[in-house]
Every structure is written in C-alpha cells, then in structure tokens.
C-alpha cells in the first residue's frame, strides 16, 4: 500500500496522562532569572528540527545558543500518552509513530532509524498490506478493488514523473487519478483509494509533489516501516539525543514565544511571561500551521514573499482515535489493518489492532485514523459525540458481535492546538518550487527558518525535520564563524510562466 499514510496512536481515556521525561536542571519560566538573556543564536522550538539544529551548532563549536520551547519537554510532534483503564494502561503515540523508510541495502539509513538504534528504542515492523476489508454490512471481501487502487497509486506516481520529464504543469492528485482512469465511484473504491493516498486528500495535494514526496523517502530508505512501541515514548530518541550534548542552561522550557522582532543587526524575542531574549540570530522551527495562524507576531511583519510562501503551502491534519475494549472481539488472525468503506468517503475508514503479539497483546486496543476536513470536524465535536459515531461504525463492522462500550477513548486535537495547528505540511498544486525556496529563505540575514515543512524532498516526515535542522544550522554556523556566509535566498515575486491574458 501507499506506505505514506501516517499511523500513530492517540487516545482517550479514563484518565489519560501525557508522559513526560524529566530533564534535570532544565530551565523553566518560573526560574527565568538563571537564563542568559543575550546569546548568539536563539533556536525557537524544541522539536526534531530544533534539537538537531542545536546539536549541529554544538558540533560546529558554537555553544552560545538557547533552545526555547513552550512545552515542558522536548520532542514537539513526538507526543506520548499513557492510555487505558487502570491496570490496562499502555504508552501510545499521539503524534509521529513510524520510521517511514529504514535502510535500503547499503544505502543511507534513515537518520531517525540511526537515532532510534543509538538510544535503544523498541520498534517493530508494521505490515500495512496485511488488511481485511469491511463496509456498513460487516466484513466484505473487496480486496480485488483494493488491489486496483494499489495499481492506480503506482500509475499516479509514474505519470507524475513523466510530467516532470516533459516540464508539464502540475495539477491536483485528483486530476492525475482521473486522467489515469481511476475514478473511485463506489464506496469500496473510495475507501481503497483513501488507504493509498489520504495522508492528505487528492483534491488538496499536488500531483507531482505528492509523488516525489513518496518516492524520495521510499526510494532512498526502502519500503519498510518501523513502529515504535517503546514504553518510554517515541520522543525518547530525541530527548536522549539532547541529553548527550545540551547543557541545562542552554534550554528554556515552558517558554512561550509571543513576539519576534528582527532587523539586519539582530533579533529580540518576547515570551508570554514578559521576559525578553536577544540574540544575533534566530532560527524559527515552529510548524507551518503556527506561522499561518499568526500565533506568533513578527515585528516588522514578515515580507510579502515570505507571507505568500507560508500561506500557499497547506497544513494537513491527521487524527488517531483510540478505543480500549474489555477484550478483543475482532478476528485474532494475522490481519492487523482493517479498512471500513462508509457511504461517506473518509468517515472512520482505517483501523489498526494493537491487541496483537507484535504490539500490545491483551490490551483490547483498536484505533481508527481520520484526516483532513474530517479531522477538523471531529475536533469541533465533543468526545462523547465522536465516541457515539465511532461506536456506530464498530457495530456496523461487527454486526454479529454484542460490542460493549469502550473502557477508554481518546483523540488529540492537533489542528486546534496553538503550538501545532495541524499535523504535517502538505504541498498543494498551486505551490511552486519558488514558494518553497521562500518558505526556507532567511529574512534580513538574521531570521532563519527550518522544520519538516522547509524540506523539499522530505516535507511532512520526521527525517525532513532532522535534515532541515542539520542543513540550516550548518549554513548558520558558516555565517556566524565568518568566511563564506551564504544566507538562504528568496525570490521576490513568484511569477507565472505563461500569464493569463487580461
């Protein structure tokens, strides 16, 4: 299957708790007086990009930096939770959960795999092709339709490659599917297509960029996906990595950035507690969604070319809805994935059992993923309303079972969260390569940007965030150390190759 669908785990629960790893000596807003308020570099955001940028500066001999993070721990979109009824709790992932693409033969390893191995993360192979199909009447075998959707997705990526070779314009993935003759007119076909593609919808995604996004990752690192089931939480790999080089005095946790003022002579950052931090340079690693929602104020306002780039890419939302039942009532066979075809496309379609010998045997946990507008829809509903809808679907899938109410239920609201505003970036067909260059470009030589969204090859993925933290901080270090400073340039106007006639 299109191995790009992100599955992670969220939960709901009878008293679910976000798990937190203590960072000895890490600074907090209540302990602000210890901070060095003037440093060479402020790294804003302590997700993967921020931590790897900090490590890169350290390796380059630059230790006069401060890593500023609003949460009480590092990791960003690596977020774990303890889920389940008393005595049946399991640590699950609300955010990223899979290392997507590991290593292809002697090729380069995915850098996230390298970190996971270095820090002894417990990961398991996740076979997304091991699937059983359902619709509103129960278990129905439409694997033939499902297999056609696998072929249609391959055709889509091949036709996208051909367009690049011929320099043809981009379109939406929906256009690509339709031109390839894949029109997905039945509920079974729509659900099968969803399973292949809908980490963001075909209507909202570039035909070309969605194909290269998939190909760069899986052609570079191979087809395997490893799922973290580590009970310290997946974030352990980045927190342990930070512990290896970060001095507690270089870290400000619980530090919510409100304003970023910049000029060609430096930056100053105002935190929610009123404290001001100053630096020669700042590296902003906040998510694209945060930048789009004006959650942080830039002074002066960002230039038009930067704002156009920010508003032209899109932030997708992906939600995992976790249910825990007293015991497993679904088939105890090898099929760990389940596809549900509702009459409404995208209504609670992709299911995964975690009650399996490879994952958490005996846990009674089943979870479903939804994306895009449907994710935003459920964020606006109450947990009770969503639970009622989800249980209606479970009862459709298992008409012969007397399905009990779950012991625990949970999903995370990524889109509503002002620290994220969605799950990962998506490249729409109206987003040009120059826009992407501008998303990444430096403003006034002092304000730099990095994060998964600024990765041209690996946007959306953890390894995209990793490489951007590494590459952008390497460029910054060259500037700071003098000799060969090249800031990341922008294009003033992104123009149309063939303007419309007016």
Ligand X SMILES: Cc1cc2nc3c(=O)[nH]c(=O)nc-3n(C[C@H](O)[C@H](O)[C@H](O)COP(=O)(O)OP(=O)(O)OC[C@H]3O[C@@H](n4cnc5c(N)ncnc54)[C@H](O)[C@@H]3O)c2cc1C
Binding site as annotated, residues:
69-70, 257
User: Binding string, 431-470, against ligand X, x = CB under 6 A?
Assistant: --------------------xx-------xxx-xx-----
Exactly one of 187, 282, 296, 321 binds ligand X (CB under 6 A); which one?
296
Exactly one of 133, 210, 285, 312 binds ligand X (CB under 6 A); which one?
285
Residues 6+ apart with CB under 8 A from 43: 50, 53, 54, 57, 65, 66, 67, 68, 282, 283, 285
Q: Which two tokens stand for residue 184?
A: 């997905």
- As a whole number of angstroms, the distance between CA 314 and CA 431 comes to 9
Task: Please report how close the Cβ of residue 100 comes to ligand X at its closest, in angstroms.
Answer: 5
Size of the site for ligand X (CB under 6 A): 41
Q: Considering only residues 254-283, where is the footprint of ligand X by CB under 6 A?
A: 256-257
Q: Considering only residues 191-230, where is the footprint of ligand X by CB under 6 A?
A: none
> What is the SS3 assignment for 119?
coil
Task: Please report how close the Cβ of residue 66 comes to ligand X at its closest, in angstroms.
Answer: 12
Q: Considering only residues 382-421, where is the footprint of ligand X by CB under 6 A?
A: 414, 419-420
Whichever of 142 and 197 has its CB closer to ligand X, that residue is 197
Residues 6+ apart with CB under 8 A from 251: 23, 26, 27, 46, 66, 67, 69, 74, 242
Question: For 199-312, where are the E strands, in sequence order?
Answer: 225-228, 251-252, 257-263, 266-271, 276-284, 297-299
Task: Please report how close the Cβ of residue 25 comes to ligand X at its closest, in angstroms.
Answer: 19
47-55, 82-90, 140-148, 439-447 -> range binding ligand X (CB under 6 A): 47-55
Task: Please report how close the Cβ of residue 461 comes to ligand X at its closest, in angstroms.
Answer: 4
- As a whole number of angstroms, the distance between CA 471 and CA 285 comes to 13
- As a whole number of angstroms, the distance between CA 176 and CA 209 comes to 12
Rounded to 10°, the helix 236-245/111-118 angle is 80
Task: Provide the terminal-to-terminal Cα distance of the chain, rounded to the nearest Å.
Answer: 45
Exactly one of 1, 23, 48, 81 binds ligand X (CB under 6 A); which one?
48
**Interface with ligand X includes 76 (CB under 6 A)?**
yes
- As a whole number of angstroms, the distance between CA 258 and CA 270 comes to 6
Q: Is the peptide bond before 456 cis (omega within 30 degrees of 0)?
A: no
Residues 6+ apart with CB under 8 A from 259: 269, 270, 296, 297, 298, 299
Task: Please report how close the Cβ of residue 325 comes to ligand X at its closest, in angstroms.
Answer: 23
Q: Which two tokens stand for residue 453?
A: 């969204």
Tell me whether strands 38-44 and 251-252 are parallel, antiparallel or unpaired. Answer: unpaired
User: Binding string, 240-259, against ligand X, x = CB under 6 A?
Assistant: ----------------xx--
Whichever of 187 and 291 has its CB closer to ligand X, that residue is 291
**Interface with ligand X includes 97 (CB under 6 A)?**
yes
Exactly one of 96, 152, 182, 397 binds ligand X (CB under 6 A); which one?
96
Q: 150: which DSSP letter?
A: H
- In a 13 Å sphere around the CA of 286, the CA atoms on its Cβ side amount to 30
Task: Please report how close the Cβ of residue 181 comes to ligand X at its closest, in angstroms.
Answer: 31
Exactly one of 287, 353, 371, 387 binds ligand X (CB under 6 A); which one?
287
Whichever of 145 and 257 has its CB closer to ligand X, that residue is 257
- As a whole number of angstroms, the distance between CA 219 and CA 141 comes to 31
Q: CA nearest 55: which of 470, 480, 471?
A: 470
**Interface with ligand X includes 46 (CB under 6 A)?**
yes
Exactly one of 146, 194, 424, 427 binds ligand X (CB under 6 A); which one?
424
Decide: 203 and 425 in contact? Cβ < 8 Å.
no
Whichever of 77 and 347 has its CB closer to ligand X, that residue is 77
Whichever of 67 and 189 has its CB closer to ligand X, that residue is 67
Whichever of 164 and 380 has its CB closer to ligand X, that residue is 380
b/e per residue 283-322 (b: at least 16 CB within 10 A): bbbbbbbbbbbebbebeeebbebbebbbebbbbbbbbbbb
Q: Considering only residues 297-336, where is the footprint of ligand X by CB under 6 A?
A: 318
Whichever of 295 and 342 has its CB closer to ligand X, that residue is 295
Residues at the binding site for FAD are 69-70, 257
Q: Which residues sit at the interface with ligand X, rule CB under 6 A? A: 6, 8, 45-50, 68-71, 76-78, 95-98, 100, 256-257, 285-287, 290, 295-296, 318, 414, 419-420, 423-424, 451-452, 460-462, 464-465
């Amino acid at each position: 299957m299109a191995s790009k669908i992100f599955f992670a785990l969220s939960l709901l629960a009878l008293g679910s708790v976000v798990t937190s790893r203590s960072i000895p000596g890490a600074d907090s807003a209540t302990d602000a007086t210890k901070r060095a308020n003037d440093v060479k570099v402020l790294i804003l955001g302590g997700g993967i990009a921020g931590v790897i940028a900090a490590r890169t500066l350290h390796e380059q001999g630059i230790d006069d930096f401060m890593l500023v993070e609003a949460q009480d721990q590092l990791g960003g979109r690596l977020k774990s939770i303890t889920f389940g009824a008393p005595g049946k709790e399991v640590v699950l992932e609300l955010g990223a959960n899979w290392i997507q693409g590991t290593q292809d033969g002697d090729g380069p390893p995915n850098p996230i795999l390298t970190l996971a191995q270095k820090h002894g993360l417990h990961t398991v192979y996740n076979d997304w092709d091991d699937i059983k199909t359902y619709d509103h009447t129960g278990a129905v075998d439409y694997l033939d339709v499902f297999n056609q959707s696998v072929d249609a997705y391959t055709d889509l990526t091949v036709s996208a490659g051909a367009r690049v070779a011929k320099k043809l314009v981009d379109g939406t993935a929906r256009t690509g599917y339709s031109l390839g003759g894949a029109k997905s007119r039945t509920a079974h076909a729509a659900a099968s297509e969803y399973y292949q593609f809908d980490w963001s919808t075909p209507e909202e995604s570039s035909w070309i960029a969605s194909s290269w996004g998939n190909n760069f990752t899986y052609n570079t690192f191979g087809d395997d996906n490893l799922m973290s089931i580590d009970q310290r939480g997946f974030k352990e790999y980045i927190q342990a990595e930070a512990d290896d080089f970060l001095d507690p005095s270089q870290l400000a946790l619980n530090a919510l950035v409100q304003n970023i003022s910049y000029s060609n002579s430096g930056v100053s950052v105002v935190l929610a507690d009123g404290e001001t931090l100053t630096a020669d340079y700042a590296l902003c690693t906040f998510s694209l969604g945060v930048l789009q929602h004006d959650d942080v104020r830039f002074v002066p306002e960002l230039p038009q070319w930067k704002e156009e780039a920010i508003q032209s890419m899109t932030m997708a939302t992906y939600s995992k809805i976790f249910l825990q039942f007293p015991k497993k009532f679904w088939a105890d066979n090898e099929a760990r994935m389940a596809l549900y075809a509702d009459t409404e496309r995208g209504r609670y379609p992709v299911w995964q059992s975690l009650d399996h010998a490879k994952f958490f045997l005996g846990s009674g946990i089943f979870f479903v993923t939804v994306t895009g507008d449907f994710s935003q829809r459920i964020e606006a509903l109450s947990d009770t309303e969503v639970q009622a809808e989800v249980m209606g679907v479970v009862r459709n899938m298992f008409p012969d079972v007397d399905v009990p109410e779950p012991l625990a239920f949970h999903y995370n609201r990524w889109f509503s969260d002002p620290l994220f505003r969605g799950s990962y970036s998506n490249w729409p067909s109206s987003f040009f390569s120059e826009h992407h260059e501008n998303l990444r470009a430096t403003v006034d030589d002092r304000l730099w940007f990095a994060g998964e969204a600024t990765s041209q090859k690996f946007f959306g993925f953890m390894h995209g965030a990793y490489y951007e933290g590494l590459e952008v901080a390497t460029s910054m270090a060259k500037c700071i150390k003098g000799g060969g400073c090249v800031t990341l340039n922008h294009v003033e106007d992104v123009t149309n190759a063939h303007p419309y006639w007016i």
